[in-house]
């Protein structure tokens, strides 16, 4: 029987919190999970990432895209290639929660809760986003603290920077509709092919 893993991903230091609940096939690698998180959250996958896990055995595990130590203060030669490691191999050792970090400049930290292992619904397609709250922040906005400041400016038309900030945020989000920080609809999530994303990733080819 086919199995799935269910995770809840919460973007740290956002208030109210931005979060998603996703289900992925148990055959997924950590790279596949990374792509699913990117798509469910609404990130654009333009930056480096890593999963940092303190396993139940006491071992520290880091999955991501290995780079030279002098290229990043986050990733080093101990980083395991996420596309070569299946979650199932480590599932028994995974703690209830671990960390996923995206963009080591803005430093978006996510708490990943490993909620359950379940039988796949034969009528359902996976990965799936089954629930969530609030819009993803725009890329390159300065991190969680700056995003909270942006929300304050957007909420008050009297701010002198309101018009310019509104235009910038909406341009980052595609410019098709006004940005609503409270909006999220799981039905709007479109999941990418992780294998195709891997083939297209310049950082992997370097």
The 10s digit of each residue's pLDDT in 95-105 is: 899 999 999 99
For residue 33, give the 3-state DSSP assignment: helix
CATH number at residue 42: 3.10.290.30
CA distance 60 to 20: 25
Residue-wise pLDDT tens digits, 35-77: 999 999 999 999 999 999 988 888 889 999 988 655 555 545 5
111 and 37 housed in the same domain: yes
pLDDT value for 68: 66
188 and 172 housed in the same domain: no
Angle formed by the axes of helices 162-172 and 144-155, nearest 10°? 120
64 and 124 housed in the same domain: yes
User: Which tokens go with 81?
Assistant: 């290639």
9 and 98 housed in the same domain: yes
124 and 43 housed in the same domain: yes
Q: Is the predicted pLDDT of residue 206 greater than 80, yes or no?
A: no
Stretch 179-191: mean pLDDT: 94
Total count of domains within the chain: 2
145 and 190 housed in the same domain: no
CA distance 176 to 77: 41
Per-residue confidence band for 175, with pLDDT thresholds at 50, 70 and 90: low
Per-residue confidence band for 126, with pLDDT thresholds at 50, 70 and 90: very high
Q: What percentage of the chain exceeds 70 in pLDDT?
A: 92
98 and 194 housed in the same domain: yes
Residues of the domain holding 104: 3-134+184-205
Stretch 177-198: mean pLDDT: 92
Q: Which conformational region is residue 30 in: left (phi greater than 0), alpha (psi within -120 to 50 degrees), or beta?
A: alpha
124 and 69 housed in the same domain: yes
44 and 101 housed in the same domain: yes
Query: What pTM does this model have?
Result: 0.92
Q: What is the mean pLDDT of the chain?
A: 89
155 and 175 housed in the same domain: yes
Cβ(101)–Cβ(49) under 8 Å?
yes
92 and 126 housed in the same domain: yes
Residue-wise pLDDT tens digits, 14-42: 989 999 999 999 999 999 999 999 999 99
15 and 91 housed in the same domain: yes
- CA-to-CA dists, residue 193 to 19, 130, 198, angstroms: 22, 19, 9
Task: Please work out, in degrees rounded to the nearest 5, the angle formed at the alpha carbon of residue 93 by the alpha carbons of 88 and 99.
Answer: 90
């Amino acid at each position: 029987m086919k199995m799935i893993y269910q995770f809840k991903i919460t973007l740290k230091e956002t208030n109210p919190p931005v979060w998603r609940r996703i289900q992925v096939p148990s055959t997924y690698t950590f790279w596949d999970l990374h792509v699913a998180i990117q798509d469910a959250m609404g990130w654009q996958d333009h930056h480096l990432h890593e999963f940092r896990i303190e396993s139940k055995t006491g071992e520290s595990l880091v999955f991501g895209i290995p780079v030279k130590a002098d290229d990043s203060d986050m990733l080093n030669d101990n980083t395991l290639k996420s596309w070569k490691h299946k979650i199932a191999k480590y599932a028994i050792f995974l703690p209830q929660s671990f960390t996923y970090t995206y963009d080591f400049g803005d430093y978006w930290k996510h708490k990943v809760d490993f909620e359950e292992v379940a039988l796949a619904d034969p009528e359902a397609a996976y990965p799936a986003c089954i629930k969530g709250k609030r819009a993803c922040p725009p890329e390159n906005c300065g991190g969680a603290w700056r995003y909270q400041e942006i929300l304050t400016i957007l909420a008050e038309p009297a701010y002198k920077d309101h018009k310019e900030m509104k235009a910038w945020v909406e341009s980052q989000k595609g410019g098709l509709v006004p940005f609503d920080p409270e909006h999220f609809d799981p039905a709007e999530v479109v999941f990418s092919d992780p294998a195709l994303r891997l083939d297209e990733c310049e950082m992997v080819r370097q």
